[in-house]
Structure 1
Amino acid sequence: MKEIIKINEDTWRIEDEGVRFYLFCGSEKAALIDTGMNSPDAKQIAEGLTNLPLILINTHADPDHISGNSAFGEFYMNPNEEENLHAHNGQGKILPIHEGDVIDLGDRELLIIDLPGHTPGSVGIIDKKNHILISGDSIQDGKIFMFGPARNLNQYIESLKHLSKYEDLFDEIYPMHGTFPVHKDLIPKLIQGAQSIVDGKAQEYAKPVNVFGNEVTLYKFDYAGFLCQ
C-alpha cells in the first residue's frame, strides 16, 4: 500500500513497500525521482499532486526504482545504466545525464553527481536551493545491495569519498530506503564500513543470509548493512 507524504509545499515522498520515490516541483516544471517497486501508476500519482509539466529522473535502474517508467516514454538516466535497465525489462528512451549536469525546474536547480558502485550508473541529485542530496541506494541506513553483476565495492567507496567535493551543497540526505531523512555524517561511516569489508576486517559483523535465492553475506554495522558475495 503506497503512502503519499507531503514534505513541504513543493516536495512529496511516496512510500512504496520498503522503497520510496520523490516529487520535486519548481516554478516551471516538476521532476519525479524514480518510480518505485510496485507503482506503474507513479506518473498518475504525480499528476494528481501537481499541474506542472512532469519529467522523470532515475537514480539508477534496479527494478525497485523503475516500475512506473514505461508511462513516460523517456527519462533522465546515466547511460551506464542501460544494461541494467534492459536486464529488468525497462522500456523507454534514456536522456543521458552526467556529473555536473543541471536540470532546472524553475527556481529549483537539480545538480547531477555520479555515484557508481552500487550500480555502474548510479547518480545522486543535489537540490541546490534546499541543500538536499537525493542519494538513490548509495547512502542509507538500511541494507545496501552490493552483490550480483556490476556491483563494485571499491568503486562505491571512491564515489562516497568524491562527495566531499560537494559537502557544502547539502545538509540532509533523502535516501530511497531506510530512515527518512538521514544526516550527511552517515557518509564517512559507510566509507569506513565498506573499507573494512574490502580489507577483510569486518568478519565480526558478518553472517550468511539468503536474499531472493542468493546466498550472500550481511555485514551488519550499527549504522547500516552491506549485502555482499
Structure 2
Amino acid sequence: MADAFLARLPSLGLGVIVFCSFYGGSILVSRLILRATATHRRNVGVVFARLVGAAVVLLGFLVSFSIVAPSFQAADLIKVLGIGSVAIGFAFQNILQNFLAGLLLLWTEPFRVGDQIRLDNFEGTVEEIETRATTIKTYDGKRVVIPNADLFTHSVTINTAFEARRWDCQLAVKTTLRDLDSLKARIVDAIRKAEGVLPDPAPEALVVDLGDADSDVIKVHISWWTRPRQHQMLATYDQVLTAIGKTL
C-alpha cells in the first residue's frame, strides 16, 4: 500500500498544483470582471464574477481529479450527479430558492448597495447583496439578514429609487375662516424657505377640516418634497415645523 501511495504521489502533487492554478485563475478572472463593471451595472458584474469563478474552480477540480485518478471518466460523475440531484434538490430546496432569487436580484437590480429599502417591519440601508441573502443596516444601527427569496416574492419599498420624496403631515391651527387664505399663504411661504425643501414640486397647504361650530381650530394638510434619504427627510421635517412655528 505504501508503494502504491508513493507511486501516486507525483500525480497527486501535480493535481494539487493544477487545482491551485485554476483556483488562482478564478480569483484573477473574478477581479477583472468586477473591475470592468465597477462603474456600470456592478451587481451584474458580481453575478458574472461568481458564476465564472465557480465554473473555473469546478473545471480545475475535474482536471485535477483526472490527473490523480486517470481511470476517472466524466460520464461517471454525470451519472452520480443525475442520481443525487433529486435528493439534493429536496434537501436544499430553500438554499437553492434563495440562490436563484439572489441571482435574479443581482441581474435585474431593483435596488443597489446603498439604497434604503423597506420589507415588512424591516427598513434600512442595503449593505451587501449576496447570492443567498441581502444584508441591511437599520436606522438604529442593527444588522438584518433577509433571505433573497423573501425580497423576490414580496413587495419591497425602495425609498431612494427616485431623487425626491414627498412628506405629508397635518397641523391643527387656531384661526378664523376669514384668515384662511392668508394662513395658507404664510404656511406655504414658511415651508418654501425651510432648508432642505425642494422648490419643484412646490409645497402645498390644504384645509381638510374646519372644526366644530364652537371651535376656531382648523386642520391643514401640508406637504413638501425633499431628498429621499431618511436623515435628510427628518432634518427637513424639523426645519419645516420650526419655520411654521416661528411664522404662526
TM-score normalized by the length of structure 2: 0.21
| Higher share of residues assigned helix | 2
Task: Please tell me whether Structure 1 or Structure 2 has the larger radius of gyration of its CA atoms.
Answer: 2
